[in-house]
Amino acid sequence: MTPWSLIALLAGLASVNAENLAPKIIIAHRGASGYLPEHTLPGKALAHAMGADYLEQDLVLSQDGIPVVLHDIVIDTVTDVAKRFPERKRADGRYYALDFTLAELKQLQVTERFDPRTGKPVFPARFPLGQATFQIPTFEEELQFIQGLNRTTGREAGIYPEIKSPAWHREQRQDISRIVLQILERYGYRTKSDKVFLQCFDYQEVKRLRTELGYQGRLIQLLADPKASQAGTDFAFLTSRAGLAELAKVADGIGPSLAQVISGKSGEGFTFTDLVKTAHEFKLQVHPYTIRTDDLPSGVTSGEQLFRACLVEAGVDGVFTDQPDRGVAFLRTLVVRK
Ligand code: CA
């Protein structure tokens, strides 16, 4: 390193709040989903090998009450269900994981995400549609897989499970949270020092996990656009100072969208909302979703620019990304880590 580049580096560091350089985490969003189909075990292996700190699992139930790793309660966007079980759709034309036993779900081929109306991939440059062979993993299979990799590599990646649509599951007479907590307990994910963050969009359920169900580990309240109300959760309130103060009584952090953290661009730089600062006042960690280096917000020219905006300038504690290798590489460029 030349003296000039060292000076430039130090000058850059001096302009950054020291608190913003606290340990940061990279969360592999649905695995290394920029490279392999989301929520497949090969995608999780790749994310693990890329050095992601946490690997995400979205969880829904099968008909026989077994948590499986899938992003949606419907399965026609990532599997060949419409070809294999054409008669099993509901009146709305969709196929639901909850209408299939685990043995049936295991017969399905998982593929890169596509639009079931057009058959076209959502991200055309990603893993080719219908290529190679992938299966839906159960939550337990995935935990065994990750814990096995933790052992053989000597590097412990954490888990980041999301309970999907708990109110909808209850309407269908299934208590997904209770089942997921039993599995977490069995696999040693119990306390705030275990490498787990449990996440949910449903505020009533986040409170229930902490109180009625007695979960002792770290909890993340996911935040959506206030206009997109989910399960009666008032996101406008939760992102307010009063809401964050309430949330801090039960949760350890928040998972906002990028747009709830970055308000816009001004010239070469970004402008930010007050959300991160206010959340930190209440000791809430902030993990925004989702950095996709192959699908950047308008005006952003590189993934690294976005990692810097979130992790350094806004001072978030971690980010969800489809390209965990790029996030890990970015963090390594910072002088202080862990
Ligand atoms: Ca998720």
pLDDT at 11 (0 to 100)? 44
Assess whether the previous peptide bond of 333 is cis (omega < 30° from 0). Answer: no
pLDDT at 21 (0 to 100)? 53
Domain map (residue ranges) of the chain: 19-72+139-331
Q: One of 39, 48, 71, 169 is an active-site residue; which one? A: 71
Cα four-point dihedral sign 208, 211, 214, 215: positive
| 71 part of the active site | yes
Q: One of 29, 39, 48, 169 is an active-site residue; which one? A: 29
Residue 15 DSSP symbol: T
Q: Ligand 1 centre and the CA of 335: distance in Å?
A: 30
CA distance 321 to 335: 21
pLDDT at 266 (0 to 100)? 82
Q: Ligand 1 centre and the CA of 4: distance in Å?
A: 43
pLDDT at 22 (0 to 100)? 61
- The predicted model scores a pTM of 0.93
- Return per-residue pLDDT of the chain as tens, 338 residues: 444 444 444 444 544 554 455 689 999 999 999 999 999 999 999 999 999 999 999 999 999 999 999 999 999 999 999 999 999 999 999 999 999 999 999 999 999 999 999 999 999 999 999 999 999 999 999 999 999 999 999 999 999 999 999 999 999 999 999 999 999 999 999 999 999 999 999 999 999 999 999 999 999 999 998 876 666 899 999 999 999 999 999 999 999 999 999 999 887 799 999 999 999 999 999 999 999 999 999 889 999 999 999 999 999 999 999 999 999 999 999 865 44
Q: What is the pLDDT of residues 87-144, one digit of tens each?
A: 999 999 999 999 999 999 999 999 999 999 999 999 999 999 999 999 999 999 999 9
Q: Ligand 1 centre and the CA of 214: distance in Å?
A: 22
Q: Ligand 1 centre and the CA of 56: distance in Å?
A: 7
pLDDT at 58 (0 to 100)? 98
What distances in angstroms separate CA 164 from CA 28, 33, 177, 189, 227, one per listed residue? 18, 18, 9, 19, 19
The DSSP bridge pattern shows strands 318-321 and 253-255 to be unpaired
Average predicted confidence (pLDDT) for the chain: 93
User: Tokens in use for 176?
Assistant: 């997904």
| 287 part of the active site | no
Q: Ligand 1 centre and the CA of 178: distance in Å?
A: 18
Options 3.40.50.300, 2.30.30.90, 3.20.20.190, 3.10.350.10; CATH of 19-72+139-331: 3.20.20.190
pLDDT at 15 (0 to 100)? 45
pLDDT at 6 (0 to 100)? 46
The DSSP bridge pattern shows strands 253-255 and 218-222 to be parallel
